[in-house]
Amino acid sequence: MMAVCIILLKFAVKLKTTSMKRILSIVGFSILVLLQGCIKDQVMTRTTVYRPEYKTKDEVRANIKSSNPIELTAPGKLFYKDGYVFLNELNKGVHIIDVRNPSAPNNIAFVHVPGAVDLAVRGNILYADMYTDLVAIDITDPKAVQLKTVVPGVFPERYYSSFVPDSKLIITAWIAVDTVLRNDETISWGMMKADVQTMSASSSSASGVSNGTGGSMARFALSDDRMYTVDHSKMKVFNTAIPEKPVFVKELSAGGWDIETIFPFGKNLFLGSMTGMHIFDISSKDNPFKTGSFTHARVCDPVISDGKNAFVTLRNGTKCAGFINQLDVVDISDLSKPKLLKTYPLTNPHGLSKEGDILIICEGADGVKFFNAADVNNIKQLAHVKGMKAFDVIALGKIAMVSAADALYLIDFSIPSNPVVKGSISIKN
């Protein structure tokens, strides 16, 4: 088509310069029509694409280190262990925050891990995804961490869209570039947008090494001396018996599609998806098997459990494409046949946590709500903390650690009907 257009253009110019009016009157209309088609093909549009910025694997690994604390700008998931909050900075690393004094949380260090989105802590080892790799980092001294192990290529789904990277390089950043494209061109590289999504019960293994605590939005889950991870449709098993030397064991089906979260409790894993909850038995650590499912409408779905019931928050959103905002309480006394007990309307629920009889739910722009869930058939709201856009929460003892759009909040709920914000660390907007 391009060659035809060029010939037609040259012919039109020649007609004009030779003043061949009679010929032009005969063929001019036809040329004009064809030229319009050429012009249409050449319409230019401006769009934003993202080009990858590379470093070699050796360069990246050499730069996995701690530094002085940096400002929180794009926080993701939370993890808690032994008085410290580990807060992901999307695609950059992990903040280490001392919260032993909730009234004065202290950002003490930052661990640089390019590509990090998910995390977990076992013993003194921090696990994080470095794009396609799993890294194990010794955080005994948070200000002088040491890279111990890299398990390469276990998260191939972490590359975006159809982009195929050089296996010898690691993408350390995506640079936005305004690009002019013809309408007939397509983008075969990069990505239009990095859709990075934004935890699990505490446990100790038979070896005596303790696992940290996460919450409801996690894709990494620790149980005993194993770590389980999920992506869109797969679950992966890692042996963490020697914490600093995680070993990839196997990959298996996650029981469905659109898997979003994973939550361990006892000898079971609870997987939240956009269409339901899947329960896996991990009595045989390396051989999880699906025992049952609970199906709901297509909405975003974090899930937690207290062993008797599962608590599922359902919310609408552009990614989830649903129209429901509610809490589902699911009876799991028969793991093969989970059944809905009761539904409670909510505003826009995100992450949730349960400590004893107190259920805490992040309600997005509507803040954080505290409920008495002693009777799951009659859950009652006790308090409502407004003024924050809350995403996820970990509740331990009488402190709720809430990740919000503007800050990490520490809320004392010793009196559940009157929770009090004790301290916070602001997020730079």
CA dist., res. 199 & res. 217, Å (int): 5
Give the list of residues 6+ apart from residue 302 with CB closer than 8 angstroms, or none.
216, 217, 260, 261, 272, 312, 313, 350, 351, 352
Q: Return the closest-CA partner of residue 424 out of 85, 74, 148, 5.
A: 85
Helix/strand/coil (H, E, C) string of the chain?
CHHHHHHHHHHHHHHHHHCCHHHHHHHHHHHHHHHHHHHHHCCEEEEEEEEEEEEEHHHHHHCCCEECCCCECCEEEEEEECCEEEEEECCCEEEEEECCCCCCCEEEEEEECCCCCCEEEECCEEEEEECCEEEEEECCCCCCCEEEEEECCCCHHHCCCCCCCCCCEEEEEEEEEEEEEECCCCCCCCECCCCCCCCCCCCECCCCCEECECCCCCCEEEECCEEEEECCCEEEEEECCCCCCCEEEEEEECCCCCEEEEEEECCEEEEEECCEEEEEECCCCCCCEEEEEEECCCCECCEEECCCEEEEEEECCCCCCCCCCEEEEEECCCCCCCEEEEEEECCCCCCEEEECCEEEEECECCCEEEEECCCCCCCEEEEEECCCCEEEEEEECCEEEEEECCEEEEEECCCCCCCEEEEEEEECC
| Local confidence band at 99 (pLDDT 50, 70, 90 cut-offs) | very high
For residue 69, count other CB atoms closer than 10 A to its CB: 17
- pLDDT of amino acid 289: 97
pTM value? 0.79
pLDDT of residue 150: 95
Q: What pLDDT digit, counting tens, does each position of 160-178 carry?
A: 444 555 566 766 666 776 5
- Look at residue 282 and tell me whether its pLDDT is greater than 80: yes
Task: Name the pLDDT band for 45 (thresholds 50, 70, 90).
Answer: low
More confident call, 360 vs 189: 360
* pLDDT of amino acid 115: 86
| Lateral strand order in the sheet of 259-265 | 259-265, 268-273, 276-281, 289-295
pLDDT score at 173: 64
Which one, of 166, 202, 198, lies nearest residue 395 by Cα? 202
Q: What percent of the chain has pLDDT over 70?
A: 75
Give the model's pLDDT for residue 255: 86
pLDDT given for residue 429 in this prediction: 75
Q: What is the pLDDT of residues 335-349, one digit of tens each?
A: 999 999 999 999 999
Give 231-271 pLDDT, tens digit per residue. 989 999 999 999 999 999 999 999 888 899 999 999 999 99
- What token pair was written down for 352? 């949730």
- The position carrying tokens 């722009």 is 365
